[in-house]
Amino acid sequence: MTTKMAINAKELFRNQHRLIRIIEQSIRMCSNQSLNAAQQQKLQQQKPQLDTDFKITKSIASKLITAAPEPIVHDEEVGQQFSASSLSVRLAMPQQLQPKPDIDDELGFGKLFTDHMLKIYYHKSLGGWQKPEITPLENLVMHPAAKVLHYAVELFEGMKAYRGVDGKIRIFRPDMNMHRMNLAAKRSGLPTFEGEEFIKCLCRLLSIDSEWVPHTEAASLYIRPTLIGIDPTLGVAASDSALLYTILSPVGSYFKSDSTGAVSLLADPSYTRAWPGGAGNRKMGSNYAPTINVQKEASRKGLQQVLWLYGENHQLTEVGTMNIFMLFVNEKGEKELRTPPLNGLILPGITRDSILALARQWGQFKVTEDIFTMPDIKHLLNEGRLLELFGTGTACVVSPINRISYLGEDLYIPTMEQEKPIHETIRETLMDIQYGKVEHPWAVTID
Amino acid sequence: MTTKMAINAKELFRNQHRLIRIIEQSIRMCSNQSLNAAQQQKLQQQKPQLDTDFKITKSIASKLITAAPEPIVHDEEVGQQFSASSLSVRLAMPQQLQPKPDIDDELGFGKLFTDHMLKIYYHKSLGGWQKPEITPLENLVMHPAAKVLHYAVELFEGMKAYRGVDGKIRIFRPDMNMHRMNLAAKRSGLPTFEGEEFIKCLCRLLSIDSEWVPHTEAASLYIRPTLIGIDPTLGVAASDSALLYTILSPVGSYFKSDSTGAVSLLADPSYTRAWPGGAGNRKMGSNYAPTINVQKEASRKGLQQVLWLYGENHQLTEVGTMNIFMLFVNEKGEKELRTPPLNGLILPGITRDSILALARQWGQFKVTEDIFTMPDIKHLLNEGRLLELFGTGTACVVSPINRISYLGEDLYIPTMEQEKPIHETIRETLMDIQYGKVEHPWAVTID
């Protein structure tokens, strides 16, 4: 890539949205109809490209854009499903309403909560899922033998509601969260549910607490759907009672618009987050407790996050609670964006999936899902071919990495030294979608 | 070993208790003073062996008997410890008292609970551990953001109270449970505590609910100490608030006195319970949720438990929630009892530790802590050298195994075909200690 091209890359990427928008408008809300969408895209591609001054260098299969997850098949024993049409609402009394925080203050992460919550009980003995209810935010009451308290029969999702530049509230690819949540339920012996019905209930909750969605791009409303097993029996077994609930928390942006902070990592191969045959690819509570002490150790060493390695070759798998991406110049001299594959050792991040889809659409560099190791990182650093390393996730969108402490060595990563870093373009692009600056099927507007 | 010796082995083992008792009486309650204990044992060994008609064929280091765990060192940041002397008691009202179950009915496991519970809160902001309290058994009330519900910040222990033949209530090696629980707290970012103080509080709870300890050797009172993180914040971090609580549940014997049931196992190498660098050697909730679906799969195949394998050579690690032991004839023609080593992949079972100590004291066969694999099992079966395979744990004491379904093969294990099976001797010996038929320092009487 020439220098001039590199300088123009960011502008180029931003303009590409206009083309992507044209292509995607036609397939919007048709996410389950990929054949139909593919045909429409083909039609679009045959039309002259009007609203653009550049060409997409690679053809893109429509499923890369829409990536609609497979519908969940419920086990017969789950019983009746809940329906959003039977949702009941019990509003907080005026004196129960909490003052909204000043978003210029430090909101932190998940310390403040809104006025209401969503609850849906499951009781096998009562036929399955019960009626959904929105109630004031209140404490949960449970038997001390509840399985969630003993055997980590629990799973969750992380989503956000964004206040768009048009004042409308949007959520991002909620079908993906619902799909992943149901996969985790299956893995945990918890009942599966209809994601679409849940999202309808969630949208109602969001509209009730809509004033908690910050009126700024510097913050958002974090959404925490949670599913716990509450059977009051001590056998290590599937839970016949469960509670699916959701709380909302206003959170600050990890990055201010005028500055970005890079993080330093502890890479200690003596700790492993996930392993083949385990459940490291499901968003279950059990993946988190064992990481807390390791995170504390990183903090003690003055490092901000843990870089999770796996195997004798010290593969990079995740960073903190994020997926990891590397931009480098490969053996052929091409720029390549690489992230570890979905081989069971990493969480199938929705931000990860979105970045892969966008980058493949851009076609400006090679995009691969493949293993890379700490020796690879050192080798690339030595040859000056490592450009960027960053974590990705719902909370931070993108988190650039500038240092790794590994087996007594301090490795400095030049992520922040790139002139037009890819990770910034990615963050801006995703935030443009999330905050409604560009129309995109991934952003679902709450009416 | 000649046939006659084999026939007499069980009697021999039972008589050995008398000698063990003499040795151990002197070191009883001195579990932290192993040097002193060793000296005392040496003195004992110099004395003529009076109350016995056999000789111990191997010398036993005293730490094998006493195995007092190292005292826990608290991090400075934990703050104040709680003391049993400030324990408060709020008794249930007469109308709150539950009827005791008929122990001839199926008690099941952990379905019924006693009238009272023990609770000790921890609040870093209030200086550390708060005053312990015994209250009626009641629901827990917690914020829906409590860390235990999201990140599996939770750990537990399994203990039992036994009604001895003398009517007294005993617990078994409680110092071991406290040590293990504190190790798990450290691993989970939860506050550590003084195990001795906790045991004093627990003994008070047991004396209040003493009539719940079944008056039979066919049942016992299961004790479930539990430590959960209750900080109402969504960051994946150590919890600044916690609750250490204990509930009690009368449970039946896994084995009736006149019959034993052997279990069949699913050994599927595509599932892994624990791995190097993980937390599989700590009794944390996070080790259990990922096993539930695999246990369901075993049940669907008509098998009772999961045999957890590890690594490419398919090492046997645990069975269900138990440690595993194998008795076989080794290459030299010796009987050998083997269990996997404490290499981080298995829970350091207290029953496991006790069996190793007893078997080494008996000196009747070789005792090793070493890896064994499914190919080893098949090889030993082919050569007729595999004698017994059994799981061990607090709930069942000993659980003989008679069948393994492994990669499409059904392997029949002759555990139940031995004339004087070791696993029965082990169970009887441990139950003799637990139910007070022999005096032993492992059994602690509740006054």
Interface residue A186 vs chain B (CB under 8 A): yes
Does the pLDDT value for residue B34 go beyond 80? Answer: no
State pLDDT tens for residues B120-134.
Answer: 999 999 999 999 999
Shortest CB distance from B152 goes to which of A186, A226, A285? A285
CATH number, domain of B347, equals 3.20.10.10
Q: Range with the lowest mean pLDDT among A391-400, A404-413, B4-13, B415-424?
A: B4-13
B385 C-beta neighbours (distance < 10 Å), count: 15
- Cβ distance of A292 and B235 shorter than 8 Å: no
B98 Cα to chain A: minimum distance (Å): 16
**In 3-state terms, what secondary structure has residue A414?**
helix
- Per-residue pLDDT averaged across B276-283, rounded? 96
End-to-end distance of chain B based on CA atoms, in angstroms?
Answer: 44
Interface residue A296 vs chain B (CB under 8 A): yes
Choose among A347, A340, A420: nearest CA to A387: A420
Share of chain B above pLDDT 90, in %: 78
- Residue A107 CA to residue A213 CA, distance in Å, equals 13
Residue of B nearest to A184 (CA): B290
- Per-residue pLDDT averaged across B214-239, rounded? 95
- Cβ distance of A226 and B150 shorter than 8 Å: yes
Specify whether A241 is located in the same domain as A270: no
Angle at A421 between CA A416 and CA A426, to 5 degrees: 120
Amino acid at A161: A
DSSP state string for A177-243: HHHHHHHHHHHHT-----HHHHHHHHHHHHHHTGGGS-SSTTEEEEEEEEEEE-----SSS--SEEE
A299-338 core/surface letters (b: 16 or more CB in 10 A; e: else): eeeebbbbbbbbeeebbbbbbbbbbbbbbbbeeeeebbbb
B243 Cα to chain A: minimum distance (Å): 11
State pLDDT tens for residues B302-337.
Answer: 999 999 999 999 999 999 999 999 999 999 999 999
B194 within 8 A of B144, measured Cβ to Cβ: no
Give chain B positions within 8 Å (CB) of A186: 293
DSSP state string for B354-404: HHHHHHHHH-SSEEEE---BHHHHHHHHHTT-EEEEEEEETTTEEEEEEEE
Q: Chain centroid to CA B219: how far?
A: 16
pLDDT band, very low/low/confident/very high, at B70 (cuts 50, 70, 90): confident
Determine the pLDDT at residue A107. 79
Specify whether B114 is located in the same domain as B248: yes
Determine the pLDDT at residue B253. 67
Can you say whether the dihedral through the CA atoms of B272, B277, B281, B286 is positive or negative?
negative
Specify whether B173 is located in the same domain as B248: yes
A167-176 core/surface letters (b: 16 or more CB in 10 A; e: else): eebbbbbbbb
Question: Does A24 reside within a domain?
Answer: no
B34 within 8 A of B66, measured Cβ to Cβ: yes
Residue of A nearest to B222 (CA): A234
Task: Name the strand (E) or helix (H) holding B206.
Answer: helix B195-208
Specify whether A292 is located in the same domain as A364: yes
- Per-residue pLDDT averaged across B4-18, rounded? 42
Interface residue A205 vs chain B (CB under 8 A): no
pTM for the structure as a whole? 0.86
- C-alpha distances in angstroms, A298 versus A315, B57, B251? 19, 51, 43
Specify whether B228 is located in the same domain as B272: no
Shortest CB distance from B289 goes to which of A142, A284, A290? A284
Specify whether A249 is located in the same domain as A267: no
Does the pLDDT value for residue B3 go beyond 90? Answer: no
- Cβ distance of A236 and B188 shorter than 8 Å: no
CATH number, domain of A215, equals 3.30.470.10
- Cβ distance of B154 and A234 shorter than 8 Å: no
Give burial (CB, 10 Å; 0-12/13-18/19+) of A241.
buried
Amino acid at B184: A
Shortest CB distance from A289 goes to which of B226, B284, B290? B284
Shortest CB distance from B272 goes to which of A153, A277, A284? A277
Determine the pLDDT at residue A260. 54
- Which positions 309-328 of B are in contact with A (Cβ < 8 Å)? 321
What are the structure tokens assigned to A357, written together? 């889809």
Determine the pLDDT at residue A33. 34
Specify whether A86 is located in the same domain as A142: yes
What is the rounded radius of gyration, in angstroms, for the C-alpha atoms of chain B? 22
B400 within 8 A of B387, measured Cβ to Cβ: no
Does the pLDDT value for residue B14 go beyond 80? Answer: no
Question: Does A340 reside within a domain?
Answer: yes
Give chain A positions within 8 Å (CB) of B186: 293
Q: Chain centroid to CA A268: how far?
A: 25
Residue of B nearest to A231 (CA): B111
Q: What is the pLDDT along chain A (447 residues), one digit of tens a residue?
A: 344 444 444 443 444 444 334 333 333 323 333 333 444 444 344 433 323 222 223 233 334 444 568 888 999 999 999 999 999 999 999 999 999 988 766 778 899 999 999 999 999 999 999 999 999 999 999 999 999 999 999 999 999 999 999 999 999 999 999 999 999 999 999 999 999 999 999 999 999 999 999 999 889 999 999 999 999 999 999 999 999 999 999 998 654 433 558 999 999 999 999 999 999 999 999 999 999 999 999 999 999 999 999 999 999 999 999 999 999 999 999 999 999 999 999 999 999 999 999 999 999 999 999 999 999 999 999 999 999 999 999 988 999 999 999 999 999 999 999 999 999 999 999 999 999 999 999 999 997
Interface test with B, best of A231, A292, A305 (most B CBs within 10 A): A292
Question: Does B37 reside within a domain?
Answer: no
Give chain B positions within 8 Å (CB) of A159: none
In the DSSP assignment, the letter for residue B194 is -
Does the pLDDT value for residue B160 go beyond 50? Answer: yes
Give chain B positions within 8 Å (CB) of A291: 236
What are the structure tokens assigned to B308, written together? 């957890």
- C-alpha distances in angstroms, B240 versus A5, A346, B146, B235, B283? 52, 29, 11, 12, 20
- Per-residue pLDDT averaged across B369-375, rounded? 98
- Residues in a beta bridge with B243: B121, B228
Interface residue A35 vs chain B (CB under 8 A): no
Domain boundary among A228, A253, A278: A253
The residues, ordered by sequence, that sit 6+ positions from B327 with a Cβ below 8 Å of its Cβ are B335, B336, B337, B338, B365, B387, B388, B389, B422, B423
Give chain B positions within 8 Å (CB) of A285: 149-152, 285-286, 289
Q: Domain containing A267: what range?
A: 263-416
Interface residue A106 vs chain B (CB under 8 A): no
A94 Cα to chain B: minimum distance (Å): 21
Domain boundary among B253, B279, B294: B253
Specify whether B91 is located in the same domain as B196: yes
Choose among A55, A62, A68: nearest CA to A363: A55
Determine the pLDDT at residue A19. 37
Give chain B positions within 8 Å (CB) of A245: 144
- C-alpha distances in angstroms, A69 versus A195, A322, A347, B114? 11, 21, 15, 47
Interface residue A75 vs chain B (CB under 8 A): no
A53 Cα to chain B: minimum distance (Å): 45
B286 within 8 A of B279, measured Cβ to Cβ: yes
Interface residue B125 vs chain A (CB under 8 A): no
Choose among A150, A239, A234: nearest CA to B113: A234
Specify whether A282 is located in the same domain as A317: yes
Interface residue B165 vs chain A (CB under 8 A): no
Domain boundary among B224, B253, B282: B253
Specify whether A91 is located in the same domain as A178: yes
- Cβ distance of B143 and A139 shorter than 8 Å: yes
- Average pLDDT across chain B, whole number: 86
Choose among A136, A101, A349: nearest CA to A245: A136
What are the structure tokens assigned to A39, written together? 């045909």
B249-269 core/surface letters (b: 16 or more CB in 10 A; e: else): bbbbbbbeeeebebbbbbbbb
Q: Give A97-120 as a 3 state SS string.
A: CCCCCCCCCCCCCCCCCCCEEEEE
In the DSSP assignment, the letter for residue B68 is P
Task: Name the strand (E) or helix (H) holding B197.
Answer: helix B195-208
Interface residue B277 vs chain A (CB under 8 A): yes
Question: Does B22 reside within a domain?
Answer: no
Question: Does B174 reside within a domain?
Answer: yes
Interface test with A, best of B148, B192, B296 (most A CBs within 10 A): B148
Shortest CB distance from B189 goes to which of A149, A278, A293? A293
Task: Give the ipTM.
Answer: 0.86
A355 within 8 A of A391, measured Cβ to Cβ: no
DSSP state string for A351-396: HHHHHHHHHHHH-SSEEEE---BHHHHHHHHHTT-EEEEEEEETTT
E strands in B157-293: 159-163, 169-172, 219-229, 241-252, 263-267
Interface residue A226 vs chain B (CB under 8 A): yes
Does the pLDDT value for residue B44 go beyond 80? Answer: no
B418 Cα to chain A: minimum distance (Å): 31
Interface test with A, best of B150, B155, B230, B297 (most A CBs within 10 A): B150
Does the pLDDT value for residue B5 go beyond 60? Answer: no
Share of chain B above pLDDT 70, in %: 83
Interface residue A288 vs chain B (CB under 8 A): yes
Determine the pLDDT at residue A321. 94
Give chain A positions within 8 Å (CB) of B189: 289, 292-293, 296
B286 within 8 A of A290, measured Cβ to Cβ: yes
Amino acid at B341: P
Task: Name the strand (E) or helix (H) holding A306.
Answer: strand A305-310
B268 Cα to chain A: minimum distance (Å): 10
Question: Does B433 reside within a domain?
Answer: no
- Residue A112 CA to residue A98 CA, distance in Å, equals 10
Question: Does B425 reside within a domain?
Answer: no
Specify whether B213 is located in the same domain as B295: no
Count of domains for chain B: 2
Give chain B positions within 8 Å (CB) of A320: 236
Determine the pLDDT at residue A22. 36
A171 Cα to chain B: minimum distance (Å): 20
**In 3-state terms, what secondary structure has residue A160?**
strand
- Cβ distance of A143 and B141 shorter than 8 Å: no
- Residue B217 CA to residue B165 CA, distance in Å, equals 8
Give burial (CB, 10 Å; 0-12/13-18/19+) of A116.
buried
| Token pair 């320092």: residue | B441
Question: Does A7 reside within a domain?
Answer: no
| Token pair 């949208």: residue | A203
E strands in B253-348: 263-267, 305-310, 315-319, 322-329, 335-339
Specify whether B247 is located in the same domain as B271: no
- Cβ distance of B270 and A284 shorter than 8 Å: no
